[in-house]
Structure 1
Amino acid sequence: MATGFYSHADCLLHEMGQWHPECPARLQAIEDQLIASRIDPLIERESAPLAEMSALARVHTQAHIDYIKSQSPTEGYAQIDPDTSMNPHTWQAALRSAGAAVAATDAVIAGRYDNAFCSVRPPGHHAEPARAMGFCFFNNVAIAARHALEVHGLARVAIVDFDVHHGNGTEAAFAGEERVLMCSFFQHPFYPYSGAENAAPNMVNVPVAARTKGMAIRELVDMMWLPRLHEFKPEMIFVSAGFDAHREDDLGNLGLVEDDYAWMTEQIREIAKRYARGRIVSCLEGGYNLSALGRSVVAHVRALAEL
């Protein structure tokens, strides 16, 4: 299978301070592991374009877009919330991240690639329609999913989120939207302390306790995600690919390993093959232990590309 790999050097320029775990070294760790694993020559690299304002506006309010742009500093940092800030390059990096997701969607729907992975930052799944939070400014996956629905006219898209944190922004964007099915698990109780109660019918939210290991996650995917995905028959699948549920990642407290990410990706791939012509666009979310992140992304991309 042909797998596109979208990234851009601008995504390395956004940083929120030397102490911050969501750092440029995350993308460098992925690159290092791609080279070490020798799969780098087997993926097709693409440069992420800047997202158009119209793409952002399909998910975010104009007031939110204007606010983020207005906060962009000429030097130093602009604090957006206690753990989210902008430097002079953040605005451009955020547009590249969203632009990668949109461009990957266009390329996969056009048949240039079977699927694609967007190695981008800042991440997106905490960004709500009118609020930036949790390291996120614009919701890359939500923007891509809305692009598939509104621009390409797809009837049904699924979003799978396996980050350790609940994708509150994605849920806020699509709760009650019959054309979208969102499946996720997340550590609970845990930041952002959402997702465990009163979910809309199109949300398959599975809160799990700290220290849950990979086999238990595989069981819940098998029992709770896959039947709903088969029933829904998505025409395209979007993945919020967070790797902070890895057992080596200190920002969460779950027990997944690389094989678990590969297995989940294989299940998603089989659903996509059956109903969606194989179409998957995956976007990087969390993952803060650099070694575990790089190894897990390689496992995920290998499974996407069937290598």
Structure 2
Amino acid sequence: METMYITHPTSFIHEMGSFHPDTPRRLDVISDQLLMSGLMPFITTGYPFKALKHDVLRVHTSDYFNSLLTNIPEQGKYYFIDNDTMMNHYTFNSALYAAGSGIFGVNAVFSNYVKNVFCSVRPPGHHACSNKAMGSCFFNNIAIAAKYAFEQYKISKLAIIDFDVHHGNGTEEIFFNDDRVLMCSFFQHPFYPYSKLLNYKKTNMCNIPVDAYSKPSKIREIVSEYWIPEIHKHKPEIILISAGFDAHREDDMGQLFLTESDYAWITDKIVDLSEQYSEGRIVSMLEGGYNFSSLSRSVVAHIRSLAKL
């Protein structure tokens, strides 16, 4: 089996209120759709360990880590960081397991147990900066996995692909001008988190803003004309994916028009590149995606492409 599906029970007990779009139900619909798809006999399942403090501190400041730890609320209460980001009693532990799933995935692909991994975990991570939580993100899961891969496996280069409708501002902040990391993304702009736009040609960032209501052909053009040439030049030894599915046309969180076939096409391109430069190594981690139907269908299309099924 080439592909591993990773999840953990703690991802289901972190919640931020019934009104919040990042609900544990997101993971339920993914697992239900995956079962109905008939893919489960062709992929393996992994159960991650908890990231340790020193794993998190490769990316985040100790003051920030300790501030989350000391503000864990009592059961039934919430600690509000901003209007989108709040902790319940279980959030801190859930965030450690979400970060640990990326590390677990890195170990799985470098040990050749599987070629690639999809982590269906919460809370997400790509908005989390080195010193603050935001956008429902507490620890930057992708960044923690990347720093672990550099330290544990002594690689020299990796790529991070982010196809969430929102800009992965935290990942960009953490790796800005780190030449070991190539970050490629598209994101709707102007839109949350209202990031300052960069001239990516002067950095290791290939993060391309797109207008609301841009067609899927525009996204495919960005992948073909910007991402792929940069990845060919960078030659990453592993590819990490911040896999947000809220650019789907059925997701009211954004105003882009992707479908599951577009996510499959993007994933196929990433798989091809990983086989050229990374021995097939990919660790993909769930970010956004809030329409239950389009999210679950898109994740299944993504996993199907990862597994070449």
Work out whether the TM-score is over 0.5: yes
- Residue 8 of structure 1 corresponds to 8
2:280 corresponds to 1:281: no
1:43-99 deviation digits (Å, cap 9, x = unpaired): 111112111111101100011111111111122111011110001110111011000
Alpha-carbon offset, residue 198 of structure 1: 4.5
**Does residue 306 of the first structure (1) align with residue 299 of the second (2)?**
no
Equivalent residue for 1:296?
298
1:132-211 map, 5 Å? 132-199=133-200, 201-211=203-213
Cα distance between partner residues in 2 of 1:195 and 1:46: 38
Whole-Å Cα distance in 2 between the matches of residues 41 and 122 of structure 1?
27
> 1:74 maps to what in 2?
74
SS in 2 for 1:108: helix
Contact 1:128 1:168 (8 Å CA) reproduced: yes
Give the CA deviation at 1:197. 2.8
Partners of 1:233 and 1:254 lie apart in 2 by 30
Counterparts in 2 of 1:20-99, with a 5 A limit?
Answer: 20-75=20-75, 76-99=77-100
* Aligned partners of 1:186 and 1:208 also within 8 Å: yes
Tell me how far apart the structure 1 counterparts of residues 276 and 237 of structure 2 sit (CA, whole Å): 10
Distance 1:101 1:59 in 2: 13
Amino acid corresponding to residue 72 of structure 1 in structure 2: I
How far is 1:222 from its partner?
0.1
Checking the alignment, whether the CA contact within 8 Å between 1:168 and 1:195 is kept in structure 2 is no
Residue 217 of structure 1: aligned partner = 219
Q: Distance in 2 between matches of 1:195 and 1:9?
A: 36
Structure 1: distance between partners of 2:73 and 2:183: 35
Aligned pair count reads 307
Query: Out of 240, 244, 247, which is 1:245 matched to?
Result: 247
Amino acid at match of 2:206: V
Q: 2:235 aligns with which of 233, 236, 242?
A: 233
Q: Deviations over 1:137-163 (max 9, x none)?
A: 000000001111122101100000000
- Secondary structure in 2 matching 1:231: helix
Q: Name the SS of the counterpart of 1:160 in structure 2.
A: strand
Q: What is the alpha-carbon distance in structure 1 between the residues aligned to residue 15 and residue 260 of structure 2? A: 27
Match for 2:191: what amino acid? Answer: F
- In the alignment, the residues of structure 1 paired with residue 119 and residue 306 of structure 2 have an alpha-carbon distance, to the nearest angstrom, of 12
Deviation at 1:40, TM superposition (A): 1.6
CA RMSD of aligned residues (A): 0.9
CA separation in 2, counterparts of 1:165 and 1:282? 17
User: Identity of aligned pairs, percent?
Assistant: 52
> What SS does structure 2 have at the residue aligned with 1:151?
helix
Give the CA deviation at 1:214. Answer: 1.4
Separation (CA, whole Å) in 2 of partners of 1:98 and 1:229: 25
Which ranges in structure 2 are unaligned for 5 or more consecutive residues?
none
Number of the residue aligned with 1:121: 122
Q: Secondary structure at the match of 1:18?
A: coil
Give, in whole Å, the separation in 2 of the partners of 1:294 and 1:213. 21
Q: Deviation string for 1:195-251 (max 9, x for gaps)?
A: 523445100010000011212111111001000000110000000000000000001
SS of the counterpart of 2:153? Answer: coil
User: What TM-score, normalized to structure 2?
Assistant: 0.98
Deviations 1:108-141 (A, max 9, x none): 1111110000000000000000010000000000
TM-score, length basis structure 1: 0.98
Amino acid across the alignment from 1:124 = G
Greater mean deviation of Cα atoms: 251-260 or 65-74: 65-74
Contact 1:259/1:299, CA 8 A, preserved across alignment: yes
Distance 2:176 2:81 in 1: 25
- 118-127 vs 60-69, greater mean Cα deviation: 60-69
* Structure 1 pair 195–158 and aligned structure 2 pair: CA distance change class (3 A): farther
